[in-house]
A and B are shown apart, each in its own frame.
Chain A
Amino acid sequence: MKRIFFILVPTFFLSGIAVEEIFSQTDSTYLRTEEILEDILQEPVGDIDESDLYDQLEQLLLNPININIATIEELVQIPSIDISTARLIIDHRKKYGYFFSLNELNSIENLDKELVKKITPFLRIDKKPSEVVEPPGKMETITSQTNVLLRSRFINALQTNEGFLKNRFEGTKPKIYNRLLVKYRNQFQAGYLTDKDAGESAINEFSTFHIAVNDIGVIHRAVIMDYFLEFGQGLTFWSPYAYGKGADAVVPVRRNDRIIRPYTSSTENNFFRGGAAAFNLGDFILSGFYSYNYFDANIDSTTGKITSTPVDGLHRTPNEINKRKTASEKMIGGRIDYRFENILHLGAIYYQSSFSNEFQPTNVYDISGDKFNYTAASYSILFNRFNFSGEFSYNGTSVASINMFQFLISNDFTFITSVRSYPRNFNSLHGYAFGERNGATNNEFGIYTGFRWRTPIGLLNFYYDQFKFPYATFFNPNSTQGDEYLVDFLTKPIRKLELRARYKYENKDITKLVDNSKSIVKRLRQVFRGEIIYSISNKIRLRGRFEYNTFRVAQTGEDENGYLIFQDVRYSPTSNFNLYGRIIFFKTDSFGSAIYEYENNLTGVLTNIPLFNEGIRWYLLLRYRPYKLVTISAKYSETYKPIEKSLGSGDSRIPGNLDNILSVQLDLNF
């Protein structure tokens, strides 16, 4: 409770002096952000908390890009903008001069109107680009350009799970999240965040703090305290989450690094604590970073070696509390970037890490030792309609690489191909690269090919990915491989009506017990989806979906399927009130044929829920902004499986067949 006070007091103090709101996050922004996320995330990547992706988008919304000085590299930071779109914008600026209003985007030929709506919240206009680097003025400008954003979130499961029933958890049931961000213009930002998971005792069980600076004098970017790094294509450094293969065949494949980013996530591991800064020196950017941070680890009491590094951030049981921040990493490094106009970007990076304890490898290619160093180089060349980009990373024993080629055949057709080669003995400590296994950077070779084609009758996305895991892994005793492709077609036959059809095919080696011996078998998985979205007016949008999913293993005779039907309504009678409702009926043969369903949630939360066995799920979500400064949102959701006796497993097992959750969030923006 004391902590909440600590957060609230400065907020109210500042609210008194805040005069004018420049923060442009209107209510329609929520809707746009959600639509962008749905585009990118609809092909689920597993049961992970993707809220960090939302967080990254929010950071972009808070720091919109100045369209009048943005480079192609900056513009493509915005999800759903690819190089061809960025080019159109920049060509327009070159031809007609600076933008005076974002509405001008609508006049750009070949730029999709729907896309314009989606990207506008991420852009801003500074009419005189030279003013951007002007130093801060008098006191009144400081207050009028200061934004304070406070977010408090409370999530409570209404059913009590086994962990609480059997008193295994030390803490209380609700999950509580508080975040305070203070921003001045687009140049300064400070943030403090606390998070308590269900079953943890202290409200600040996890807390993070940062002060960040952007574009001041020679400082390109700098962060004190908590941050994370991004480099090239993510082999060496990346945030703990990134987009994977999805319904958009082009955008998620190529990464656009931001060098240093303040840490504003509630994921408790995998960030840096210390300081990092990047300086502009003509065409060069020089950066340096240092971190000393503790992380969760299970340490063998006799050898003193790290046996595993749990990243879930849960500290509920005595066991979980014991592994809390038991090991530390000291990391130091530097980086140099060279940019030549919009054509060339080269980067080189070096860092070394030393750990408090050695890693205990479980197999020969596993991570071992306590000292690591990495050297990496990245490139991106853009000329005419071609883009080549990639990264090479060397860990002292082997080199991992990813290279891609993007070809803008016309304004309506973009082709991309990417080749990744991650050797068996390359382990990246902080990388998160593109691949079949989300983020993994070792033991994979893959070729991805895809295109996005805006045909006269609709938008067609297609990709084909072939992958191979050349060496044995913990799960597979031998080399394995697979391939997959996805076709997604979205059409608007008449105004207000969107139809979508999707087919995904995946054929992959997995290890199964056949006649009591482990053997590698082919698993064929197919997903069909049909969707209809009808916007009756600006106020009401209806949506229906049918999805069918099947997987087959010929050798074991497994042949399972599942399906889902849902009906969804979004009602927004006024710009400050949104109501969402959805009801889903589903049935699958087992967890294996589970269907993932992405759904709307409180701002900042993403839910991608696996639905399996038989039952229904429904939710109601309300977002209301009674005053300019206040947004209240609440969600009630319920999953009901009539024939089950209990839901979940382990500590999260719920007796009974109903799982319902109530969440409430308050946002204050001054």
Chain B
Amino acid sequence: MRKVFTLYLLLILNSLIYPQYNPGARQISLANSDVALSNDVFSIFNNPAGLAQLNWREVGIYYSPAPFGLTELSNGYVAYNEPFNFGSISIGGMTYGFDLYRESKVVLGYSYNYENILFAGATVNYHTYSIQNYGSTSAIYFNVGGLVYILDELRWGFVVTNLNRASIADIDDQIPMILSTGFSYDILQNFSLNFALEKDISYNPSVQFGIEYDIIEYLSLRAGTSNDPSRFTAGLGINYSIFSLDYAFFTHQDLGLTHQAGIILSFGKEGSRSSAVRRYLNSSE
């Protein structure tokens, strides 16, 4: 009985301090305002709809070694996306924690491109929680998202996380249910503004804002900000050959500075990411 109680306690504590932001480094440097952008492989964790914007294969790895200076909170993600005629299939994984407490997640996603205007995607998430000497528990939940091109330069995206309101260990709402909606606008071909509104079922809405500027094909600069929690974020990306190396850092008002980095391998992408997506969507019209 005490064992179970402690497990619950840890789970509750975990949900309160939930230290993770969705990957990867690019998304974090935009303060996660990318719900309407979602054009890289890590979209499987954010808005899976966006994956069908890619007509190339992509693999990504992301690692955050010590969020807020605590190595115990380190987390890592991997993601893979494969485009098919019938839509894109993606697989992702996550691990988080340390010896005593560990979470892991396996995600399977599907995304569909409807006439280059509407993109719709869904993921199945299998999330496992384990505490040393106390056992483990798991939950399955679904995310559903959409992304539409209102204009060639203007996108509207939205996603619902944990649509089935799954929870763990018989306590409600241990996995948050989240609605996120936002816009992404390309002011220039290489300069995009992103805005998102995110509402967690039991927290105040978070307003998120991010800009991405591809100065040259090889270098992208990013910055963002959000409230609730209040964050400033920034980062850069180096794109060379099939590699995109991204770095991000952010300051949390109460918890301090965090660094993270990721690498994405794109097979068959030509030029910068935004121009490759644009070319794909215009060519098949």
Q: Do A and B come from one complex?
A: yes
A interface with B by C-beta (< 8 Å): 494, 497, 532, 534, 536-537, 540, 542, 544, 546, 563, 565, 567, 569, 583, 585, 587, 614-616, 640, 642-643, 657
The count of residues in chain B whose C-beta lies closer than 8 Å to any C-beta of chain A is 24
A534 and B181 form a contact (CB under 8 A): no
- A640-B165 CB under 8 A given contacts A565-B199, A615-B201: yes
- A565-B197 CB under 8 A given contacts A542-B148, A642-B172, A642-B202: yes
CB distance from B204 to the nearest CB of A (A): 8
Q: Which 3 A-B pairs have the closest CB atoms?
A: A585-B199, A585-B179, A536-B118
B160 and A544 form a contact (CB under 8 A): no
Enumerate 6 A-B pairs (CB-CB under 8 Å) in ascending A order.
A536-B118, A536-B148, A537-B117, A585-B179, A587-B199, A642-B202
A536 and B114 form a contact (CB under 8 A): yes
Return the contact of A642 from the options B148, B160, B179, B201 (Cβ within 8 A): B201
CB distance from A366 to the nearest CB of B (A): 47
CB distance from B194 to the nearest CB of A (A): 16
Which residues of chain B in 135-185 are interfacial with respect to chain A, using CB atoms and an 8 Å cutoff? 146, 148, 150-151, 156, 158, 160, 163, 165, 172-173, 177, 179, 181
CB distance from A579 to the nearest CB of B (A): 13
CB 8 Å contact bits of B200-221 with A (1 = contact, 0 = none)? 0110110000000000000000
Chain B residue numbers with a CB within 8 Å of A587 are 199, 204
How many angstroms between the C-alpha atoms of A532 and B158 in the bound complex? Answer: 13
How many angstroms between the C-alpha atoms of A42 and B284 in the bound complex? Answer: 40
Which residues of chain B in 79-137 are interfacial with respect to chain A, using CB atoms and an 8 Å cutoff? 114-115, 117-118
How many angstroms between the C-alpha atoms of A544 and B155 in the bound complex? Answer: 13
How many angstroms between the C-alpha atoms of A540 and B205 in the bound complex? Answer: 28
CB distance from B164 to the nearest CB of A (A): 11
How many angstroms between the C-alpha atoms of A532 and B117 in the bound complex? Answer: 16
Chain A residue numbers with a CB within 8 Å of B114 are 536, 540
Chain B residue numbers with a CB within 8 Å of A569 are 146
Shortest Cβ distance from B202 into A: residue: A642
CB distance from B131 to the nearest CB of A (A): 24
B181 and A616 form a contact (CB under 8 A): no
Most buried by B among A536, A546, A585, A642: A585
How many angstroms between the C-alpha atoms of A314 and B178 in the bound complex? Answer: 38
A534 and B115 form a contact (CB under 8 A): no
A537 and B201 form a contact (CB under 8 A): no
B115 and A537 form a contact (CB under 8 A): yes
CB distance from B154 to the nearest CB of A (A): 9
CB distance from A571 to the nearest CB of B (A): 10
Chain B residue numbers with a CB within 8 Å of A537 are 115, 117
Chain B residue numbers with a CB within 8 Å of A614 are 201-202
Chain B residue numbers with a CB within 8 Å of A563 are 205
B150 and A565 form a contact (CB under 8 A): no
- A583-B160 CB under 8 A given contacts A534-B150, A542-B146, A640-B165: yes
How many angstroms between the C-alpha atoms of A587 and B118 in the bound complex? Answer: 30
Chain B residue numbers with a CB within 8 Å of A565 are 179, 181, 197, 199, 205
B156 and A544 form a contact (CB under 8 A): yes
Chain B residue numbers with a CB within 8 Å of A616 are 177, 179, 201
A534 and B148 form a contact (CB under 8 A): yes
- A585-B201 CB under 8 A given contacts A565-B179, A567-B179: yes
A567 and B202 form a contact (CB under 8 A): no
How many angstroms between the C-alpha atoms of A544 and B196 in the bound complex? Answer: 13
How many angstroms between the C-alpha atoms of A616 and B179 in the bound complex? Answer: 10
Chain B residue numbers with a CB within 8 Å of A657 are 172
CB distance from A531 to the nearest CB of B (A): 12
B150 and A497 form a contact (CB under 8 A): yes
A542 and B156 form a contact (CB under 8 A): yes
CB distance from A275 to the nearest CB of B (A): 55
Return the contact of A536 from the options B117, B151, B165, B201 (Cβ within 8 A): B117
A494 and B150 form a contact (CB under 8 A): yes
How many angstroms between the C-alpha atoms of A569 and B159 in the bound complex? Answer: 12
Most buried by B among A565, A643, A657: A565
CB distance from B159 to the nearest CB of A (A): 9
- A642-B150 CB under 8 A given contacts A532-B156, A615-B201: no
How many angstroms between the C-alpha atoms of A544 and B179 in the bound complex? Answer: 11
How many angstroms between the C-alpha atoms of A616 and B172 in the bound complex? Answer: 14
Chain B residue numbers with a CB within 8 Å of A642 are 172-173, 201-202
Most buried by A among B160, B172, B201, B205: B201
A643 and B202 form a contact (CB under 8 A): yes
CB distance from B197 to the nearest CB of A (A): 7
CB distance from A288 to the nearest CB of B (A): 58
CB distance from B162 to the nearest CB of A (A): 11
How many angstroms between the C-alpha atoms of A534 and B155 in the bound complex? Answer: 11
Return the contact of B151 from the options A494, A542, A544, A583 (Cβ within 8 A): A494
CB distance from B16 to the nearest CB of A (A): 14
Return the contact of A567 from the options B115, B158, B173 (Cβ within 8 A): B158
How many angstroms between the C-alpha atoms of A537 and B199 in the bound complex? Answer: 28
A544 and B150 form a contact (CB under 8 A): no
How many angstroms between the C-alpha atoms of A643 and B163 in the bound complex? Answer: 18
How many angstroms between the C-alpha atoms of A616 and B199 in the bound complex? Answer: 10
How many angstroms between the C-alpha atoms of A614 and B199 in the bound complex? Answer: 11
Chain A residue numbers with a CB within 8 Å of B158 are 544, 567
CB distance from A632 to the nearest CB of B (A): 25
How many angstroms between the C-alpha atoms of A563 and B204 in the bound complex? Answer: 10
How many angstroms between the C-alpha atoms of A439 and B170 in the bound complex? Answer: 49
Most buried by A among B114, B160, B179: B179
Chain A residue numbers with a CB within 8 Å of B151 are 494
Chain A residue numbers with a CB within 8 Å of B173 are 642
Chain B residue numbers with a CB within 8 Å of A567 are 158, 160, 179, 181
Chain B residue numbers with a CB within 8 Å of A542 are 146, 148, 156
How many angstroms between the C-alpha atoms of A615 and B201 in the bound complex? Answer: 6
CB distance from A545 to the nearest CB of B (A): 10
CB distance from A660 to the nearest CB of B (A): 12
How many angstroms between the C-alpha atoms of A468 and B163 in the bound complex? Answer: 48
Chain B residue numbers with a CB within 8 Å of A546 are 197
CB distance from A484 to the nearest CB of B (A): 27
How many angstroms between the C-alpha atoms of A664 and B160 in the bound complex? Answer: 27
How many angstroms between the C-alpha atoms of A296 and B176 in the bound complex? Answer: 48
Shortest Cβ distance from A638 into B: residue: B165
CB distance from B163 to the nearest CB of A (A): 8
How many angstroms between the C-alpha atoms of A534 and B202 in the bound complex? Answer: 29
Shortest Cβ distance from B172 into A: residue: A642
CB distance from A601 to the nearest CB of B (A): 21
How many angstroms between the C-alpha atoms of A643 and B202 in the bound complex? Answer: 8
Chain A residue numbers with a CB within 8 Å of B205 are 563, 565
Chain A residue numbers with a CB within 8 Å of B117 are 536-537
- A540-B201 CB under 8 A given contacts A585-B179, A616-B177: no
Shortest Cβ distance from A581 into B: residue: B144
How many angstroms between the C-alpha atoms of A585 and B118 in the bound complex? Answer: 23
How many angstroms between the C-alpha atoms of A569 and B146 in the bound complex? Answer: 10
How many angstroms between the C-alpha atoms of A542 and B150 in the bound complex? Answer: 11
How many angstroms between the C-alpha atoms of A3 and B278 in the bound complex? Answer: 63
How many angstroms between the C-alpha atoms of A286 and B184 in the bound complex? Answer: 64
Shortest Cβ distance from B145 into A: residue: A567
B115 and A544 form a contact (CB under 8 A): no
Shortest Cβ distance from A642 into B: residue: B173
CB distance from A542 to the nearest CB of B (A): 6
CB distance from B161 to the nearest CB of A (A): 11
How many angstroms between the C-alpha atoms of A540 and B118 in the bound complex? Answer: 9
How many angstroms between the C-alpha atoms of A495 and B197 in the bound complex? Answer: 25
How many angstroms between the C-alpha atoms of A533 and B173 in the bound complex? Answer: 31
Shortest Cβ distance from A616 into B: residue: B201
Q: A542-B148, A544-B158, A585-B179 are in contact. List 11 more A-B contacts (CB 8 A).
A: A497-B150, A536-B148, A540-B118, A567-B158, A567-B179, A616-B177, A616-B179, A640-B165, A642-B172, A642-B202, A643-B202
CB distance from A588 to the nearest CB of B (A): 12
How many angstroms between the C-alpha atoms of A601 and B251 in the bound complex? Answer: 46
Shortest Cβ distance from B179 into A: residue: A585
CB distance from B138 to the nearest CB of A (A): 21
Chain B residue numbers with a CB within 8 Å of A540 are 114, 118
